[in-house]
Amino acid sequence: MDAWRGNPGSLLGLAGLAPAEIERLLDRAEAWLDAWRRGAVSPVLAGRSVALWFAEPSTRTRVSFEQAAALLGARPIVISERGSSLEKGETLADTAATLEAAGVDAIVVRHGASGAPEQIARAVRVPVLNAGDGTHEHPTQGLLDVLTIRQSFGRVAGLRVAIVGDVLHSRVARSTTWALAALGASVVLVGPPTLVPTELARALPAEVCHDLRAGLEGADVVMALRLQKERMVAAYLPSEAEYRARWGITAERLGWAKPGAVFLHPGPSNRGVEVETDVHDGPRSRVRDQVRNGVAVRMAALERALSGEEAARWRS
Amino acid sequence: MALLIRGGRLIDPATGRDGRFDVLVEGGRVAAVAPDLSGRLPAEGDGVEVFDARGLVVTPGLIDVHTHLRVPGQAHKETLATGTAAAAAGGFTQVCTLPNTHPVIDSPWLVEAVLARAREDAVVRVHVVGALTKGQEGRELAPLDAMARAGAVAFSDDGRPVADAGVLRRAMEYARAIGLPILDHAEDPGLTGRGVMHEGPVSLALGLPGIPAASEVVAVQRDVTLAAFTGARLHVMHLSTAGAVEAVRRAKEAGAPVTAEVTPHHLALTVAEVERLRYDASTKVNPPLRDESDRQALVQGLRDGVIDLIATDHAPHSGDEKALPYVDAPFGISGLETAFALAYGALVESGALTLPELVRRMTAEPARALGLPGGSLREGDPADIAVFDVDAEWIVDPAAFRSKGKNTPLAGRRVRGRCVATFVAGRRVWGERP
């Protein structure tokens, strides 16, 4: 399925994004990371403003986008009312048009409803960046996962990545899977059938496996997903304890993967549920790298959206 | 004034007529049907309107047993005037309006109020379906007998399936004594959960909660079992899955008093349309657009007679509501004005059904299933007549709809088959003078 791309510079999802485009975003993120480390980030977006429309609670993604915008010299304008458009009786398109009329140069949107960023993008001319929509996609998170993996191995093609947990409700798993597959990695989605439906193998470029050991065997990367407590109430699982016993990532189980395998988690983590602390904070963990890479990836995404030269290059 | 509809191809499945006939209307009723009635014309100047139907198809007015006219309480979505104007434009002369309104039509005075209002505002015949349970809450029976005496033609909790099988059983037993059918929205609320589209690869990729086919199949199996058990007349609404068609087939073979309907959109569209239009809620309908294999089973079920009739499930909504995020937007397609063309394309143009069969499924069969008058053009019948140009190609333009509901996934689609005139009791309610 080809994602609708939106206006030039928009980033609505990673499904359908060309491998070269993904690589270029990763390369720019690396360059920004390097400049950031050296304290030499040039404010290429000075004088521009970015609306950060967070209609759903978020800390790390919002902070990461805010930091990225500020580092590049753009002014972040945070709109954080929860469910703002619905509660005020205003449609998504109306709110988006208001932001555009107020002169923002791009809209970053986090929304609880799948597809909301696409609906917003259809209503405005400025670029729209999806910061996570419902259970659909979270493209910058997917990019930071792939960047972290590329840093760990120097490549992505040929790697095997196991994503373990609640894939059904995970926008991160979708975006990460699309990007990994585009760059030539193989993805296996692992977990109970209630959270990893067999039909996912027809929806995403991935295998589905309901046996943790079989899923981890041969994996270069093991990524655990956050398990939400409300899944127990909705009868997806009997209990956290049962999930932990069968699917939780322990040091021993990480050993089922390849020697040298690394561990990722999009956070926030439930330690002692989907992952044990010794794995989460252990030598194979790349969780802290993921957070730092998140800022760099968002710098690359904002640059792509807003920089005149960049936008022109992307358009061509 | 008399009316002569001259020289059209008359297709009247109830009488078996299919050929070139004149139809003479006097006093609002069919006075004569014969190959040439020019000799029976009253003398010129006595006020005979002649409608030249050469090259056109003349049928009994279509009957829709499943329409949401949104009265009372939701005039921003539809009114009796706009909804019945839409019906007339689609070739319908009778519609049954469903009770999931605000307030719910669950009392005799509300039935009477809607019927009284229809006499003022409606341009086609309006029948009222009363609620099966009070407030459609699935707990206590609505006053079925009183509503029947007030004029209700059937009972339904459409939109809110009865979750408790025990309540449905009692409702069926009681409705049986009254002699009216129950229109059944077959859906298992637990299996549907918060689903908004067909569950499968497309819902998984779009990240939208799915409604599994099993939600309908389980409910149809339960409900036809109860119909056989109680002897109540059960009409299963808007079938969408192969499994449900199979369940109705088995129930009918076992002699259960069951009829079933399918909508034009389920006959013509699949989940591929949801994928194409992505998060555009014009494709959001309950039951959802399903797989191609389901669509084919529905067409086959109609061919076999397992599915008796076609009904629109006309569900108008305001543009603002449909502009909400997909998960929040209401379910429904505005269907009266595209029903014939959509069904014609999916069934007749595809070769699945003959035109007379299609007409039968939209006239005589709905009348039979609900025990309504009409659906035929015998001498003496009310002159409820539709005239179609089945060769006319047109492009669906929601802005031109008579309905307030512009919500359709068909905008811009090229279709064939158009109603050019509609008569109720011999009075023209749609179409230009030729």
Chain B contact for A280 (CB, 8 A cutoff): no
Cα separation, B129 vs B114, in Å, equals 10
Mutate to test the interface with B, among A90, A135, A175 (most CBs of B within 10 A): A135
Cα separation, B188 vs B166, in Å, equals 14
Query: Nearest chain A Cα to B278, which residue?
Result: A115
User: What is the reported pLDDT for B31?
Assistant: 96
User: What is the reported pLDDT for A307?
Assistant: 83
Residue of B407, B328, B409, B404 lying closest to B87 (CA atoms): B404
Cα separation, A302 vs A298, in Å, equals 6
Residue of B434, B416, B382 lying closest to B61 (CA atoms): B382
Residue of B258, B263, B266, B264 lying closest to B235 (CA atoms): B258
pLDDT digits (tens, 9 = 90+) for A53-105: 999 888 899 999 999 999 999 999 998 766 544 455 577 888 899 999 999 99
Whose structure tokens read 């059983």? B169
Q: Which 163-192 residues of chain A touch chain B by CB within 8 A?
A: 168, 171, 174
At A2, is the pLDDT very low, low, confident or very high (cuts 50, 70, 90)? very low
At A1, is the pLDDT very low, low, confident or very high (cuts 50, 70, 90)? very low
User: What is the reported pLDDT for A92?
Assistant: 87
Give the type of residue at A166: D
Beta strand B2-12 pairing with B17-26: antiparallel
Chain A contact for B251 (CB, 8 A cutoff): no
Phi, psi of A205 (to 5 degrees): -75, 70
Write out chain A residues lying below 8 Å of B202, CB-based: 1, 203
Beta strand B210-211 pairing with B234-236: unpaired
Cα separation, B219 vs A225, in Å, equals 35
Is residue A290 pLDDT above 70, yes or no? yes
User: From the list B278, B324, B327, which residue is nearest A91 (CB)?
Assistant: B324
Contact call for B204 and A1, based on CB within 8 A: no
Is residue A310 pLDDT above 60, yes or no? no
Burial class (CB in 10 A: 0-12, 13-18, 19+), B158: buried
Contact call for B278 and A4, based on CB within 8 A: yes
Per DSSP, the three-state class of A7 is coil
User: Residue B38 CB: number of other CB atoms within 10 A?
Assistant: 11
pLDDT in tens, chain B (434 residues): 899 999 999 999 999 999 999 999 999 999 999 999 987 776 655 678 999 999 999 999 999 999 999 999 999 999 999 999 999 999 999 999 999 999 999 999 999 999 999 999 999 999 999 999 999 999 999 999 999 999 999 999 999 999 999 999 999 999 999 999 999 999 999 999 999 999 999 999 999 999 999 999 999 999 999 999 999 999 999 999 999 999 999 999 999 999 999 999 999 999 999 999 999 999 999 999 999 999 999 999 999 999 999 999 999 999 999 999 999 999 999 999 999 999 999 999 999 999 999 999 999 999 999 999 999 999 999 999 999 999 999 999 999 999 999 999 999 999 999 999 999 999 999 996 54
Instruction: State the nearest Cα–Cα gap between A173 and chain B, in angstroms.
Output: 11
Structure tokens at B248: 């109705």
At A315, is the pLDDT very low, low, confident or very high (cuts 50, 70, 90)? very low
pTM of the shown model: 0.94
CA angle at B417 for the pair B413 and B421, rounded to the nearest 5°: 120
Residue among A37, A82, A88, A288 flagged as catalytic = A88
Structure tokens at B46: 């006595």
Query: Nearest chain A Cα to B202, which residue?
Result: A203
Evaluate the CA torsion angle B151, B153, B158, B160 in order and state its sign. positive
Cα separation, A77 vs B30, in Å, equals 71
User: What is the reported pLDDT for A235?
Assistant: 87
pLDDT digits (tens, 9 = 90+) for A234-243: 889 999 999 9
Burial class (CB in 10 A: 0-12, 13-18, 19+), B416: middle
Contact call for B201 and A199, based on CB within 8 A: yes
Cα separation, B428 vs A21, in Å, equals 61
User: What is the reported pLDDT for A274?
Assistant: 95
Structure tokens at B285: 């309908």
Q: Which 135-154 residues of chain B touch chain A by CB within 8 A?
A: none
Contacts of A297 (CB under 8 A, 6+ apart): A25, A26, A29, A140, A143, A144, A147
User: What is the reported pLDDT for B434?
Assistant: 43
Query: Nearest chain A Cα to B210, which residue?
Result: A168
Contact call for A135 and B320, based on CB within 8 A: no
User: From the list B200, B275, B324, which residue is nearest A199 (CB)?
Assistant: B200
Structure tokens at B142: 């609505």
User: What is the reported pLDDT for B194?
Assistant: 96
Give the type of residue at B175: A
Contact call for A134 and B207, based on CB within 8 A: yes
Higher pLDDT, A16 or A89: A16
Contact call for B202 and A1, based on CB within 8 A: yes
Mean pLDDT of the A191-197 span: 96
Contact call for A113 and B326, based on CB within 8 A: yes
First-last CA distance in chain B: 17
Beta strand B48-52 pairing with B57-60: unpaired
User: What is the reported pLDDT for B44?
Assistant: 58
Active site residue A110: yes
Write out chain B residues lying below 8 Å of A171, CB-based: 207
Structure tokens at B340: 């014939």
Sheet containing A160-164: order of strands: A207-209, A186-190, A160-164, A221-224, A262-264
Evaluate the CA torsion angle A188, A194, A197, A198 in order and state its sign. positive
Structure tokens at B128: 């009222």
Contact A141, A170 (CB under 8 A): no
Write out chain B residues lying below 8 Å of A116, CB-based: 279, 325
